[in-house]
A and B are shown apart, each in its own frame.
Chain A
Amino acid sequence: MKRMTSILLAVVAALAGCQREQRQLRLDPPTADALDKIALMPNGIAGAPPRVYFALGKPYEANAYNLSQGKRLYSWFGCKSCHGDGQGGSGPSFLDGWWYYGPEMVSIFASIRDGRPHGMPSFRDKMTTDQIWQLAGYVQTIGSYEGKTAAPSRNDEKQTRPAENRAPAKLRFDQGPSPVHLDQGPTP
C-alpha cells in the first residue's frame, strides 16, 4: 500500500513536470486587432483591457518569454534614452513609487501607444499591438511592488538595480526627507 502511494506520487510529480510555459509566437490577426481595443477612462488614466486579454490569461504580465521580448523592445526602441534602466532620466522613473497615469497595464499600454504630454512619443506606427503589450508588461514588472516568479533574461552589462522580477520598485523605494512628489501618499 505504502509502495503504491509512493509510485503514485512519483507519477504525479513526473506529470506535473510536463507543464511548461507556453510561448505565443504568433498572434492571430483578429486577436491582435481585438487586443488594441482597450477601454480607457476619459482622462486617459486606467480603464479596462479588452475581454480577449482575460481570455488569453493575461499573457503579458507573468510570461517569461513576453517579458524577455519586452526587455529587448525596451532597448531597441530607445526607452533607455529617457527612462534609463527604469530609474528615470529626462523621463520619469518607474521605480519611485509614483505612476503619473496609474499602475494598470492599460494605462501603460496607452502611454506607449498614444504618447503622453511633456515628451512621451506615440509608438502606434512604430510597433505592433503585440509588441506594445510586451513592452507594457516589462515596464509594469520593473515598477511592480510584488516580485514575480517569471523573469526576463538577464543583462549582459553590470546590474544597476535589483532584477526585474524582484520588485525593484519596492526594494528601491525611498521616500526621503522631502519626497519628489509631495502628494505621494504612504509607503507602498
Chain B
Amino acid sequence: MIRALSKICLSAMLAVPLAACGSNWQSALDVHGTSAISLKHLILLIVAVCSVVWMLVMVALIWALWHRREGLSTPPQPGRERRMTIAVIGAVIVTAVIIGTFTIMSFFATRSLSVAGQDELTIRVRGLQWWWGIEYLGPDPSRRFETANEIHIPVGRSVHLKLEGLDVIHSFWVPSLAGKQDLIPGRSNELTIRAEQPGVYRGQCAEYCGMQHAHMALLVIAESQDDFDKWANAERNAAAQPVEEEAAAGMQTFLTKPCAACHTIRGTIAAGTTGPDLTHVGSRRTIAAGLFETTRGSLAAWIADPQTIKPGNNMPMVPLAPEELRDVSAYLASLK
C-alpha cells in the first residue's frame, strides 16, 4: 500500500520533467544495474517514509488548530501537560530513529557502488573535452585495446572503472546502471558497474565541462559473455585493410593529411593520441560522443565541418577536396 502510494507520489513529482522523454533510454527510474537498483530502492523508501511523516505532521497540525486554547486565561492542567511532554519526547525519538535508519541504509547503498569482486574487468575511462576515451586494461599488455565513447560490458559481471579527467572535471553518469562519479585531473576515481540485464544504456557527462558539455554522451552496451568476448576479440585486431578502391584512396588521404596527427588507426602509421582511436570506428553506434549515428553520411558531414556541427570542439576543419572527403568517409565507414 505504502509502496504503491509512494510510487504514485514520485511519479506525480517527476511527471513534468519526464514528460518529454518517451522512452527510458536514460533514466534513473528505469534501473538495470546493481547499484542503480539499490539507489532506487533507497530513494523510494525515503520518499515513502517522508510522505507518511509529512501526512502525520499535517494531521497533527490540523488537530492542534482545531483544539487550540483560547487566550492564556485557562490554568495549566497537570495531566494535559504530562501527555504533551510524552508526545514531544515520542516524536523526537521517532525522528531520531528514522534519520538513523536512513543514514545506515544510505551508507550501505553507497558502499555497494564501489564493491570490488574477484577477477573483474578493468576499464580506464578518460574524460576529455568533449568525448570519452575508453581503454580496456588487463594483466596482459598485448590484450589491451582502446576505443571511444562506447563501453561494452558482460551482463552479470562487476566491471571496474578507473576514471581520469585529462583537462577539466567531468562526471561519469549512466543513470540506469549507477550513480555519478567525477573524473578529476590529477587523480584516479573508481566506480564499479554491473548490469543485470542486457541492453544499451546511455550515459552523459554530468559536470559542466565547457561549451559542448551537452554533447558529451556515451553508450554502455551490456551483452552476454559470449557476445562480449566476440566483440573484444574483434576490437583487439588491427584495422582491416580496405578492399574497395575508394576506401583504399581514403586511407591514403587519411594518412597524408592532418587526420593521422591526432587519431590512431591500429595497423597503419596513424598513431596520434589527441583524438579518439578510430581503429573500429565503423562498428561504433555513434560518432562525436553520441551526436550522430555512425553512417558514411554523418562521418562525411562531421569531417567536412566539425565546427558548425559541434562548435568549439578540438577537431579542426581540415581542407579536403570533394573526392578526398568521399574517399575518407568510405574508408572510415569500412573500419568495422
Residues of A at the B interface (CB closer than 8 Å) are 23, 25-27, 29, 32-33, 72, 76-77, 125-128, 130-131, 156
Asked whether any CB of chain A lies closer than 8 Å to the CB of B267, the reply is no
Asked whether any CB of chain A lies closer than 8 Å to the CB of B297, the reply is no
Are B257 and A32 in touch, CB under 8 angstroms?
no
| Known contacts A25-B307, A26-B307, A156-B186; is-contact A126 B317 (Cβ 8 Å) | no
Which residues of chain A are within 8 angstroms of B233 by Cβ–Cβ distance?
none
Binds A, one of B2-10, B12-20, B308-316: B308-316
Which residues of chain A are within 8 angstroms of B260 by Cβ–Cβ distance?
126
Expressed in whole angstroms, the Cα–Cα distance for A16 and B87 within the complex equals 63
Which residues of chain B are within 8 angstroms of A130 by Cβ–Cβ distance?
316-317
Quote the shortest CB–CB distance from A152 to chain B (angstroms). Answer: 13
Quote the shortest CB–CB distance from B29 to chain A (angstroms). Answer: 37
Specify the main secondary structure of chain A where it touches its partner.
loop
Quote the shortest CB–CB distance from B118 to chain A (angstroms). Answer: 36
Contact with A along B255-269 (1 / 0, CB 8 A): 011101110000000
A-B contact count (CB 8 A): 39
Other-chain contact of A126, B185, B258, B311 (Cβ < 8 Å): B258
Quote the shortest CB–CB distance from A71 to chain B (angstroms). Answer: 11
10 A-B interface contacts by CB (under 8 A): A25-B311, A25-B312, A26-B305, A26-B308, A27-B317, A33-B319, A72-B314, A125-B256, A126-B260, A130-B317
Asked whether any CB of chain A lies closer than 8 Å to the CB of B99, the reply is no
Residues of B at the A interface (CB closer than 8 Å) are 185-186, 256-258, 260-262, 274, 305, 307-308, 311-312, 314, 316-319
Which residues of chain B are within 8 angstroms of A125 by Cβ–Cβ distance?
256-258, 261
Which residues of chain B are within 8 angstroms of A29 by Cβ–Cβ distance?
317, 319
Other-chain contact of A128, B256, B312, B318 (Cβ < 8 Å): B318
Are B256 and A26 in touch, CB under 8 angstroms?
no
Closest to A134 in B: B316
Which residues of chain B are within 8 angstroms of A25 by Cβ–Cβ distance?
307, 311-312
Quote the shortest CB–CB distance from A18 to chain B (angstroms). Answer: 20
| Known contacts A25-B307, A27-B317, A125-B257; is-contact A76 B312 (Cβ 8 Å) | no
Are B258 and A128 in touch, CB under 8 angstroms?
yes
Expressed in whole angstroms, the Cα–Cα distance for A77 and B314 within the complex equals 13
Closest to B318 in A: A128
Expressed in whole angstroms, the Cα–Cα distance for A25 and B306 within the complex equals 10
Are A32 and B319 in touch, CB under 8 angstroms?
yes
Closest to A32 in B: B319
Are A128 and B185 in touch, CB under 8 angstroms?
no
Are B262 and A76 in touch, CB under 8 angstroms?
yes
Are A23 and B312 in touch, CB under 8 angstroms?
yes
| Known contacts A32-B317, A32-B319, A77-B261; is-contact A156 B185 (Cβ 8 Å) | yes
| Known contacts A25-B311, A127-B261; is-contact A76 B274 (Cβ 8 Å) | yes
Closest to B319 in A: A29
Closest to A28 in B: B317
Are B316 and A131 in touch, CB under 8 angstroms?
yes
Quote the shortest CB–CB distance from B8 to chain A (angstroms). Answer: 48
User: Which of B186, B257, B317, B318 has the most chain A CB atoms inside 10 A of its CB?
Assistant: B317
Quote the shortest CB–CB distance from A3 to chain B (angstroms). Answer: 42
Which residues of chain B are within 8 angstroms of A126 by Cβ–Cβ distance?
258, 260-261
Which residues of chain B are within 8 angstroms of A32 by Cβ–Cβ distance?
317, 319
User: Which of B258, B260, B308 has the most chain A CB atoms inside 10 A of its CB?
Assistant: B258
Expressed in whole angstroms, the Cα–Cα distance for A25 and B309 within the complex equals 11
Quote the shortest CB–CB distance from A181 to chain B (angstroms). Answer: 32
Quote the shortest CB–CB distance from B320 to chain A (angstroms). Answer: 10
Closest to A69 in B: B314
User: Which of B308, B312, B316, B317 has the most chain A CB atoms inside 10 A of its CB?
Assistant: B316
Closest to B314 in A: A72
Which residues of chain B are within 8 angstroms of A76 by Cβ–Cβ distance?
262, 274
Known: A126-B261, A128-B258, A130-B316. 12 other contacts (CB 8 A): A23-B312, A26-B308, A29-B317, A32-B319, A72-B314, A76-B262, A126-B260, A128-B317, A128-B318, A131-B316, A156-B185, A156-B186
Expressed in whole angstroms, the Cα–Cα distance for A155 and B305 within the complex equals 30
Which residues of chain A are within 8 angstroms of B261 by Cβ–Cβ distance?
77, 125-127
Expressed in whole angstroms, the Cα–Cα distance for A127 and B318 within the complex equals 8
